[in-house]
């Protein structure tokens, strides 16, 4: 009996050992599986975060492209309804300074970038939060554009594993930087050069009209019935010919202005330059109007007094296109590689009475 009891004892011990081995094997096996699953989650989330950063860098690049295109297309003045760089009747109208040009460009880039970042970035089954950017920095000595968000507002991704009661959160640096070789400063400088030439031309036109041959009136002129100040008493000698009547004078001055406002202004190897004269709506198709006031001084003597007022009022649209590089942008009709143009206006408002 004693021997039989020993056998039973040994069998029971073996059974306990086997149960314990199975128990420990299950515990450590589950722990190993959990560890593998955690590493897989972290790896996938890290890939999603990396993909989001690539997306943000690409977004900054295309935001710069679009920002340059839109800013210069609007005369480097996004918040101004009137893109004037010059107004002969208003000394306060000036071209934007270089700092103002850069501020406008930064504002355009920032607005575009935040459009790209307004929604989470989805990668496979993961959703990455994207920050709101608040600062765009442009290095003047190098074509590098950088963007920054608030310190605690960064790209991040989180996942909660309910079965294990665990939560995983990964974060990335939000700062971005892209090098883009586009000579925006050269285009701005070219715009100011063209403006100076245009102003000189407009002032030369004013000087011509200031000359005495463009009379402002006559007093007590003899007239016959049916005659008027417009047709009979207005005459001027110009270009070795006599111009009679205010209508003919307006046509002559229209041609004179059109021939001289762009004198000496032309494109070159780097830029195309186009200047268009735009008469204002109330002046019809003529950039200058001659208004007449007449008064009969003495009916018996048939004498009349004439007064002429010259009113020159028109806009010049300046379009300077950089030929060295096209950018992938939405150009108003489609997304395509498009040249960048600086567009602004100059107003000529002058009168002589």
Closest CA relative to residue 319, chosen from 286, 287, 271, 259: 271
User: Which residues have CB under 8 Å from 64's CB, separation 6+?
Assistant: 109, 145, 178, 180
Q: Mark whether 7 and 133 lie in a shared domain.
A: yes
Q: Mark whether 140 and 288 lie in a shared domain.
A: no
Tally of structural domains, the chain: 2
Residues present in the chain in total:
353
Assigned domain for 267 exists: yes
Closest CA relative to residue 260, chosen from 216, 314, 310: 314
CA–CA gap between residue 109 and residue 116 (Å, rounded): 11
Of the three residues 179, 205, 230, the one that is the final residue of a domain is: 179
Assigned domain for 142 exists: yes
User: Which residues have CB under 8 Å from 258's CB, separation 6+?
Assistant: 277, 287
Q: Mark whether 102 and 210 lie in a shared domain.
A: no
Q: Mark whether 228 and 175 lie in a shared domain.
A: no
pLDDT of residue 212: 78
CA–CA gap between residue 187 and residue 102 (Å, rounded): 12
Partner residues linked to 337 by β-bridges: 328
Q: Mark whether 206 and 268 lie in a shared domain.
A: yes
Tens-digit pLDDT string for the chain (353 aa): 555 455 455 444 545 444 445 544 544 455 555 555 567 778 888 999 999 999 999 999 999 999 999 999 999 997 766 789 999 999 999 999 999 999 999 999 999 999 999 999 999 889 999 999 999 999 987 789 999 999 899 999 998 776 666 788 999 999 999 999 999 999 999 999 999 999 999 999 999 888 877 878 777 777 777 777 776 667 777 777 777 878 888 888 898 899 999 999 999 999 999 999 998 766 667 888 888 888 877 666 677 788 888 898 999 999 999 999 999 999 999 999 999 999 999 999 888 88
Closest CA relative to residue 64, chosen from 175, 189, 182: 182
Q: Mark whether 148 and 282 lie in a shared domain.
A: no
Q: Mark whether 50 and 151 lie in a shared domain.
A: yes
Q: Mark whether 190 and 73 lie in a shared domain.
A: no
Q: Mark whether 63 and 140 lie in a shared domain.
A: yes
Assigned domain for 51 exists: yes
Of the three residues 148, 179, 210, the one that is the final residue of a domain is: 179
Look up the domain containing 124 and give its range: 2-81+97-179
Q: Mark whether 160 and 188 lie in a shared domain.
A: no
Instruction: Please state the pTM of the whole predicted model.
Output: 0.83
Q: Mark whether 137 and 250 lie in a shared domain.
A: no
Place of tokens 């198709």: 285
Of the three residues 179, 203, 227, the one that is the final residue of a domain is: 179
Q: CA dist 45 to 161, 165, 171, 187, Å? A: 13, 18, 10, 44
């Amino acid at each position: 009996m004693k021997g039989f009891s020993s056998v039973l004892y040994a069998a029971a011990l073996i059974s306990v050992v086997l149960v314990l081995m199975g128990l420990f094997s299950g515990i450590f096996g589950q722990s190993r599986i959990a560890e593998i699953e955690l590493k897989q989650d972290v790896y996938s989330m890290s890939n999603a975060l990396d993909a989001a950063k690539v997306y943000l860098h690409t977004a900054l690049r295309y935001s710069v492209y679009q920002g340059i295109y839109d800013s210069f297309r609007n005369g480097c003045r996004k918040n101004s309804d009137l893109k004037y760089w010059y107004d002969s009747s208003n000394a306060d109208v000036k071209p934007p300074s270089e700092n103002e040009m850069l501020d406008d460009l930064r504002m355009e880039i920032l607005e575009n970038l935040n459009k790209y970042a307004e929604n989470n970035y989805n990668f496979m089954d993961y959703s990455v939060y994207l920050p709101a950017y608040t600062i765009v920095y442009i290095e003047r000595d190098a074509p590098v554009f950088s963007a920054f968000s608030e310190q605690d507002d960064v790209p991040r991704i989180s996942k909660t594993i309910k079965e294990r009661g665990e939560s995983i959160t990964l974060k990335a640096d939000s700062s971005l930087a892209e090098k883009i070789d586009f000579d925006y400063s050269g285009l701005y400088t070219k715009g100011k050069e063209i403006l100076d030439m245009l102003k000189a031309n407009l002032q030369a036109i004013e000087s011509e009209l200031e000359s005495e041959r463009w009379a402002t009136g006559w007093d007590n002129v003899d007239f016959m019935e049916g005659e008027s100040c417009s047709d009979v008493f207005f005459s001027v000698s110009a270009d070795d010919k006599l111009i009679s009547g205010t209508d003919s004078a307006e046509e002559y001055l229209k041609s004179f202005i059109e021939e001289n406002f762009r004198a000496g202004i032309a494109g070159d190897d780097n830029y195309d330059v186009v200047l268009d004269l735009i008469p204002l709506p109330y002046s019809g198709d003529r950039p200058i109007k001659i208004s007449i006031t007449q008064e009969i001084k003495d009916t018996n003597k048939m004498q009349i007094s004439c007064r002429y007022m010259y009113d020159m009022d028109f806009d010049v649209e300046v379009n300077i296109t950089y030929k060295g590089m096209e950018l992938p942008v939405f150009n108003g009709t489609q997304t395509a590689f498009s040249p960048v143009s600086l567009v602004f206006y100059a107003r000529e408002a002058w009168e002589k009475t």
